[in-house]
């Protein structure tokens, strides 16, 4: 993780320079690594990110004008490249962006990001990361021949978000930074980090990897993006990691339990859990009892409904992906809180796939349940589907995976049906893919 932090900050054009050592909570200053922000640094204000995105694509701020704005974007089709070879290559530092969330210097912003426990709402952080990821990709694909971009860049996947052991104070400035780290023909991987100010130093809080895809100006078909040229061994390693991530995602998808049967070890796990729920008094496969300190998976569910209003639209007049992530996260947090009986803390976000866009006016149904537990950890899966007022058929749009840590040990969760058994194994796979378990600290305050 230390090397990843160093790699990202080498792209900051001298704005971020490494200091002494990676800050991990309250430790000896002699062993800390922090990043000093030079006075010459002038990051974008977080409130201006979406304004800048609207300017790049020519989106209207008024809902009544959205149809006209989208019609005007059709004229940009002629600026799209017929092949990737037509586009000039870009460097990682060309897409480097910094965004400031001045919670300390502008306290009027705090209430939007504040929980009742005086902690930071992680759902709001997810919204900011999503907007930043899109802006970074527009910096990579910037065209000088036209004021507005002919590309529609949308979030395809949140590959991973890993939290560090770091206090998040609502009274200190936060800084986001990131850049494009890998490019395919029509897709881009974006690496982002979040830091919070402690004294005069910004210390790392989280690392995130998003995958964005480029579409044409009407957001109907794929479009080519500029190739990426890594410079130096650090950037070459980042690019290789992007290639590896792509292969890992393909392999993980190919081995999905929706496509392939569980492994022999996984089948044994489920069978042993089934045997542990049989009533020894009846000696029957149909008589099931819960072991001590266990909960049936079906009893760990929570559901919610959202009406998708124009206020939550993105620059392409679909529902903003960050809004979907925030709502899913908040429901997942409530599920983990209800299940564990204490405040949970987010540890990792993994494999959020944006399968279908959500139209303005849709009914958004969210269903959350605990699918795996281990010690203090709670793995929560949130399923998102939509229905329109005209068509009552439900369509899956997203599946979210969140790993939480509770303040105390949580009950075991037991599947009752075969379908729930597959959810259990899927949750176990996502939990095991987490980079590394973290130790719970009293100052680890990241909540809905």
The model's confidence at residue 2, banded by pLDDT at 50, 70 and 90, is very low
**Greater model confidence, 447 or 344:** 344
Q: Is the pLDDT reported for residue 279 higher than 50?
A: yes
The model's confidence at residue 340, banded by pLDDT at 50, 70 and 90, is very high
Q: 238, 255, 272 — which closes off a domain?
A: 255
295 Rama class: left (phi>0) / alpha (psi -120 to 50) / beta: beta
pLDDT at residue number 89: 96
Q: Is residue 293 domain-shared with residue 395, that is, in the same domain?
A: yes
Task: Mention every residue, 6+ apart, whose C-beta is less than 8 A from residue 396.
Answer: 355, 356, 383, 384, 385
185 domain-assigned: yes
Give 248-307 as a 3 state SS string: HHHHHHHCCCCCCCCCHHHHHHHHHHHHHCECCCCCCCCCECCCCCEEEHHHHEEEEEEE
pLDDT at residue number 441: 41
Q: Are 89 and 229 in contact (CB under 8 A)?
A: yes
pLDDT at residue number 447: 56
5 Rama class: left (phi>0) / alpha (psi -120 to 50) / beta: alpha
285 domain-assigned: yes
**Greater model confidence, 186 or 25:** 186
Task: Indicate the number of domains in the chain.
Answer: 2
**Which backbone phi and psi does 177 adopt, to 5 degrees?**
-145, 155
Instruction: Report, as an integer, the average pLDDT of 195-201.
Output: 88
**Greater model confidence, 131 or 218:** 131
Q: Is the pLDDT reported for residue 293 higher than 60?
A: yes
pLDDT at residue number 87: 95
Mean pLDDT of the chain: 85
Q: Is residue 407 domain-shared with residue 336, that is, in the same domain?
A: yes
Of 7-21, 191-205, 269-283, 386-400, minimum mean pLDDT range? 7-21
pLDDT at residue number 400: 95
Query: Taking the CB of residue 114, how many other CB atoms lie within 10 A of it?
Result: 17
The model's pLDDT over 229-256, given as tens digits with 9 standing for 90+, comes to 999 999 999 999 999 999 998 888 888 8
Q: Is residue 329 domain-shared with residue 198, that is, in the same domain?
A: no
pLDDT at residue number 223: 95
**Which backbone phi and psi does 95 adopt, to 5 degrees?**
-100, 0
SS3 394: coil
Distances (CA, A) of 401 to 158, 367, 423: 10, 12, 11
Helix (H) or strand (E) holding 400: strand 395-405
pLDDT at residue number 77: 86
Q: Is residue 217 domain-shared with residue 316, that is, in the same domain?
A: no
245 domain-assigned: yes
Strand ranges (E), 29-74: 35-37, 44-45
How many whole angstroms separate alpha carbon 308 and alpha carbon 3?
A: 41
pLDDT at residue number 178: 97
Of 13-22, 61-70, 133-142, minimum mean pLDDT range? 13-22
Q: Is residue 246 domain-shared with residue 344, that is, in the same domain?
A: no
Which two three-digit tokens encode residue 27?
């430790």
281 domain-assigned: yes
The dihedral formed by the CA atoms of 101, 213, 324 and 409, expressed in degrees to the nearest 10: -80
Instruction: Report, as an integer, the average pLDDT of 406-425.
Output: 95
Q: Is residue 80 domain-shared with residue 176, that is, in the same domain?
A: yes
8 domain-assigned: no
The model's confidence at residue 146, banded by pLDDT at 50, 70 and 90, is confident
Q: Is residue 220 domain-shared with residue 87, that is, in the same domain?
A: yes
The model's pLDDT over 88-119, given as tens digits with 9 standing for 90+, comes to 999 999 999 999 999 998 989 999 999 888 88
Q: Is residue 97 domain-shared with residue 235, that is, in the same domain?
A: yes
Distances (CA, A) of 155 to 127, 137, 254, 409: 12, 10, 21, 35
Q: Which residues pair with 399 in a beta bridge?
A: 353, 383
Q: Is residue 218 domain-shared with residue 278, that is, in the same domain?
A: no
The model's confidence at residue 35, banded by pLDDT at 50, 70 and 90, is very low
Strand ranges (E), 308-418: 345-354, 363-374, 377-387, 395-405, 412-414
The CATH number for 152's domain is 3.10.129.10
Q: 255, 285, 319 — which closes off a domain?
A: 255
Distances (CA, A) of 184 to 181, 231, 315: 11, 17, 24
Q: At what angle do helices 264-276 and 418-432 cross, to 10 degrees?
A: 120
CA 202 to chain centre: 22
Cα–Cα–Cα angle for 205, 397, 67, rounded to 5 degrees: 100
283 Rama class: left (phi>0) / alpha (psi -120 to 50) / beta: left
Task: Mention every residue, 6+ apart, whose C-beta is less than 8 A from residue 42.
Answer: none
pLDDT at residue number 236: 96
* Boundaries of domain holding 87: 38-255
Q: Is the pLDDT reported for residue 310 higher than 80?
A: yes
pLDDT at residue number 18: 31
Residue 73 is given by DSSP the state H
5 domain-assigned: no
Q: Are 349 and 158 in contact (CB under 8 A)?
A: yes
pLDDT at residue number 247: 92
pLDDT at residue number 436: 54
Q: 199, 230, 255 — which closes off a domain?
A: 255
pLDDT at residue number 273: 95
SS3 45: strand
Instruction: Report, as an integer, the average pLDDT of 358-372.
Output: 94
Q: Is residue 288 domain-shared with residue 391, that is, in the same domain?
A: yes
24 domain-assigned: no
Percent composition of the chain: helix, strand, coil (DSSP 3-state, to 5): 35, 30, 35
How many whole angstroms separate alpha carbon 119 and alpha carbon 174?
A: 13
Q: Is residue 68 domain-shared with residue 105, that is, in the same domain?
A: yes
7 domain-assigned: no
Q: Are 89 and 226 in contact (CB under 8 A)?
A: yes
Q: Which residues pair with 345 in a beta bridge?
A: 405
Which two three-digit tokens encode residue 81?
């490249």
How do strand 120-121 and strand 152-163 relate by DSSP bridges? unpaired
Most confident range, picked from 57-71, 367-381, 424-438? 367-381
Q: Is residue 221 domain-shared with residue 274, that is, in the same domain?
A: no
Q: Is the pLDDT reported for residue 319 higher than 50?
A: yes
């Amino acid at each position: 993780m230390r090397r990843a932090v160093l790699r990202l900050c080498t792209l900051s054009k001298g704005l971020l320079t490494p200091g002494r050592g990676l800050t991990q909570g309250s430790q000896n200053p002699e062993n800390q690594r922090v990043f000093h922000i030079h006075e010459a640094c002038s990051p974008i204000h977080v409130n201006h990110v979406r304004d800048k995105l609207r300017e790049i694509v020519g989106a209207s701020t008024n809902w009544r004008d959205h149809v006209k704005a989208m019609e005007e974007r059709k004229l940009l089709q002629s600026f799209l490249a017929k092949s990737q070879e037509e586009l000039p290559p870009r460097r990682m530092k060309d897409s480097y962006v910094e965004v400031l969330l001045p919670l300390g210097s502008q306290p009027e912003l705090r209430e939007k990001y504040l929980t009742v426990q005086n902690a930071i709402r992680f759902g709001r952080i997810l919204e900011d990361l999503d907007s930043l990821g899109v802006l970074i990709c527009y910096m990579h694909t910037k065209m000088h021949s036209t004021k507005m971009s002919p590309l529609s860049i949308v979030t395809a996947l949140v590959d991973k978000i890993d939290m560090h052991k770091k206090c998040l104070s609502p009274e200190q400035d936060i800084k986001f930074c990131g850049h494009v780290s890998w490019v395919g023909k029509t897709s881009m991987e974006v690496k982002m980090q979040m830091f919070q100010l402690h004294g005069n130093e910004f210390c790392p809080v989280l690392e995130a990897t998003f995958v964005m895809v480029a579409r044409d100006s009407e957001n109907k078909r794929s479009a080519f993006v500029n190739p990426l040229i890594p410079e130096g061994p650090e950037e070459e390693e980042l690019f290789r990691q992007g290639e590896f991530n792509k292969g890992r995602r393909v392999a993980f998808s190919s081995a999905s339990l929706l496509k392939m049967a569980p492994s022999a070890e996984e089948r044994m796990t489920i069978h042993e859990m089934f045997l542990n729920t049989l009533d020894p008094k009846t000696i029957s496969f149909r008589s099931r009892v819960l072991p001590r300190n266990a909960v049936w998976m079906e009893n760990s569910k929570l559901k919610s409904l959202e009406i998708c209003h124009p206020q939550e639209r993105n620059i392409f007049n679909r529902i903003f992906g960050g809004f979907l992530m925030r709502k899913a996260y908040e429901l997942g947090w409530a599920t983990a809180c209800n299940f564990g009986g204490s405040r949970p803390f987010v540890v990792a976000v993994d494999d959020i796939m944006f399968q279908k866009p959500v139209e303005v006016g849709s009914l958004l149904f969210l269903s959350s349940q605990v699918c795996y537990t281990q010690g203090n950890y709670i793995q929560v899966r949130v399923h998102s589907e939509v229905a329109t007022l005209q068509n009552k058929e439900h369509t899956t749009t997203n599946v979210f995976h969140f790993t939480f840590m509770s303040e105390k040990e949580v009950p075991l969760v037991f599947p009752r049906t075969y379908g729930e058994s597959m959810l259990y194994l899927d949750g176990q796979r996502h939990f095991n893919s987490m980079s590394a378990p973290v130790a719970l600290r009293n100052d680890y305050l990241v909540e809905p």
